[in-house]
Structure 1
Amino acid sequence: MDDRPVSQRATWAKRATAFARTYAAEVDRDRLFGLAAETAFFAVLSIFPGLLVAVSLLGLLQALVGADVAVAAQDRVVGLLSLVLTAQASDAVAAVESLFEQKRTGLLSVATVGALVTLSGAFAVTINALNLAYDAAESRPWIRRRLVGLVMALGSLTFAVVALGVVVVGPFFGRGEQLAELLGLGDVFVFVWNFLRLPVLVVALVLWLTLLFHYAPSRRVGWRHALPGALFTAVLWFVASAAFHVYLAIAASRNPLLGAFGGGVIIMSWTYLLSLALLLGGELNAVLYDRRHLDVGPATPDQRAEQLPLFA
């Protein structure tokens, strides 16, 4: 039972309501739904070269850790796509499988350049959206802004490689289980790693998002103040992916139009949801920033309740 005075609970509820109202108004004013579509467009363009990077890396991985581990990594990547996109996107998943069956490590450099160029375009839109959220004039030259987007794109590819190499393959490029066997801890290692696999991915994702929200806006955001939006985005990504999976499993099978267009529309829709969640996280940080830097002057009790931070 809540032991706080009724007046204190009412004040907190008023703050939460005012915050939600302000947040919704800022999302609408900054046109996040339209900017998410623009971001998703460039992100979709980066999918094909990004997959080529993954394919080429798996070819290198096979030389490092052996064919069995590389095939297991391939199966997990395809399985994840199938899990989220369901059978409605079977054509897209089959295309990914066919790429994996034709590993060419020589494609790595070309694919990486293509992925970086298209991803940097997506992050350029993200930078503009975050500046809009913070009401910050862009003070960096165009070339520097593009370099920031390029670094973010490179960081995204690095994160994907780490997720593939650590979360999918396992620690020490898949040699962790062998090391544990030598120490007589094979069963313990398998149990602990299976338990830690998802938390490690979540921590890495939140860290990457925090870096993005710290460096992307023209107005520098502190690490601690970039964290709420990163956590919010990570939660939204998992929730949106799960909800999208449920929608495709239940509703899409009854929609002949979606079935006719196939995996392309499904991938674009999923990418749009992820892009929107990213911008919503940035907007959350911006609204919290405004509330921290708001000058509180003489005001009525109701106005003071709206001006105070959500969490005292």
Structure 2
Amino acid sequence: MDQAKETPERPSGRLRRVRAHYRNVSKRRTAWLLLKDAVNSCMEYRILGLAAEAAFFTLLSVPPLLLSLVGLLGYVDSWTGADTIASVEQNILEASRAVLSDQGVREIAQPILHDVTKGGSPDLISIGFLLALWSGSRAVNVFIDTITVMYGLDGVRGIVKTRLLAFGLFIVALLMGSVVLPLMVIGPDTLVSVVPWGENLIQLLYWPVILVLSVIFLTTLYHVSVPVRAPWIEDTPGALVALGMWVLGSFLLRIYLTNTVEGPTIYGSLAAPVAVLLWIGVSAFAVLVGAAVNAAIDHVWPSVATAAAREERAAAARTAAGRAGPDDPDDPDVPPSEFPERWSRFLPPEDVTGRLRGQTRRGGAAEETPAPDRPAGTGPDRTGSPHNGTPAPRPSGPPEPAYPPGDRFGDRDR
């Protein structure tokens, strides 16, 4: 009998929760609802603009990062040899000609590279790495904030923790990118020429390894960006969608760049930076679309941790609203929606707009509140009529003003 009264346990996995709660809903209907929710999230949180912001800060971090890495060559020249350093310097100068003119390469790029690679520059390495770390982590911070807001958990994690998490994820992204990006650039054929004895193995495992590493990194990014911990595997759908969007976007971008940027173009020397910026923007857009898909799935089938965090946040908001009260004159004006919630405490509690809005609300409430009725026969009203139910006799002559001279605005009643 006791076993029959026990509450059944909640299904642990997301797939089991789907089957338990949506067994009567068709798969097509469920997919349509998820797609609509994801599209609404993308439009509501303007992920196109956020992707452009992340792409800008990512591109801003590339030059100081490369400069600091090149500066390290001055300390390892005894290991690498002078020929290796000269080859790297020549390759960088050839790449800089896509951005700078020949005069700019001779007067700007070449002297800087010569000073950096000559004996090492600790000040340049440290400053360049700090600039790269700040701008790159700023781009990662855009992803973390957007993912947190999409899940409805903004304000749960503090500013300092968010910034430190962005620093850590940027370091991990550098390590992963140093492995994955060179593999994607050189291709399997170049790798086979380096390792000829493993041709069959490389041809078989090349792309699967790259795809698995990319999915692992994206899933980890989505997993740690949410302030509460949920099963790691539940963030995989968004990673797969982001990877598919990135492949499709890169293919379409390649077609566009082939027809517009290659050869004579209006961009001139800026063609290469524009192409890199567009590619980074497409990648950031794909990452945010995957985050929107994960957030839509979590809103439909929430995990235990995210559901509890959202309920706790809603309860805290209700408690704060109850303490303030709807008619509290000292209640500060509500900040606009473009301000993040965690910045609302730093806004001025009394500004001109808030006072005007408060006076408007109080004035409207005073007009809507009816004046209390006086008992009959308690005294004359403004027209001199006694409150006994009988009208006062109308005097002859011109009508008297409602207020005596000198009191035309009702100062006496005040």
TM range (shorter): 0.5 to 0.7
SS at match of 2:153: coil
Percent of pairs with identical residues:
25
Could you tell me which residue of structure 2 aligns to residue 239 of structure 1? 248
SS at match of 1:218: coil
Equivalent of 1:283 in 281, 292, 311: 292
Shift of 1:200: 2.4
Matched to 1:146, the amino acid is: R
Question: What is the correspondence of 1:240-279 to structure 2 with a 5 Å cutoff?
Answer: 240-252=249-261, 256-259=265-268, 261-279=270-288
Q: Deviations over 1:229-281 (max 9, x none)?
A: 12222222222222211111124459843447422322222221111111111
1:261, 1:245 → 2: CA distance?
A: 17
SS at match of 1:270: helix
**1:199 pairs with 2:198:** no
TM-score (norm 1): 0.68
Could you tell me which residue of structure 1 aligns to residue 42 of structure 2? 27
Shift of 1:150: 0.5
Shift of 1:30: 1.7
Matched to 1:245, the amino acid is: R
- Give the unaligned 5+ runs of structure 1: 1-7, 82-88, 178-185, 295-312
Could you tell me which residue of structure 1 aligns to residue 140 of structure 2? 123
**1:217 pairs with 2:226:** yes
Matched to 2:147, the amino acid is: L
Shift of 1:194: 4.7
2:282, 2:257 → 1: CA distance?
A: 14
Q: Deviations over 1:76-118 (max 9, x none)?
A: 999xx9xxxxxxx9438x98xx78x867364554433222111
Equivalent of 2:161 in 138, 141, 144: 144
Shift of 1:196: 2.9
Matched to 2:64, the amino acid is: P
2:177, 2:90 → 1: CA distance?
A: 16
Q: Size of the alignment, in residue pairs?
A: 265
TM-score (norm 2): 0.53
Q: 1:167 touches 1:200 (CA, 8 Å); kept in 2?
A: no
**1:41 pairs with 2:56:** yes
2:286, 2:264 → 1: CA distance?
A: 25
**1:91 pairs with 2:99:** yes
Relative distance call for 1:218 and 1:268 in structure 2 (3 A) is same
Structure with more contact order per residue of length (Cα contacts < 8 Å, sep ≥ 6): 1
Relative distance call for 1:59 and 1:188 in structure 2 (3 A) is farther
Q: 1:206 touches 1:230 (CA, 8 Å); kept in 2?
A: yes
2:203, 2:85 → 1: CA distance?
A: 18
Which has more helix, going by share of residues? Answer: 1
2:160, 2:50 → 1: CA distance?
A: 21
2:91, 2:240 → 1: CA distance?
A: 25
Question: Which structure has the bigger radius of gyration?
Answer: 2
Equivalent of 1:229 in 223, 226, 238: 238
- Give the unaligned 5+ runs of structure 2: 1-22, 304-414
Equivalent of 2:179 in 135, 150, 162: 162
What is the RMSD of the two structures over their aligned residues, measured on CA atoms? 4.3
Shift of 1:195: 4.2
1:167, 1:64 → 2: CA distance?
A: 27
Q: Which moved more, 1:279-288 or 1:267-276?
A: 267-276
Shift of 1:286: 0.6
1:270, 1:198 → 2: CA distance?
A: 20
2:205, 2:84 → 1: CA distance?
A: 19
Relative distance call for 1:49 and 1:191 in structure 2 (3 A) is farther
Q: 2:215 touches 2:239 (CA, 8 Å); kept in 1?
A: yes
Matched to 2:158, the amino acid is: P
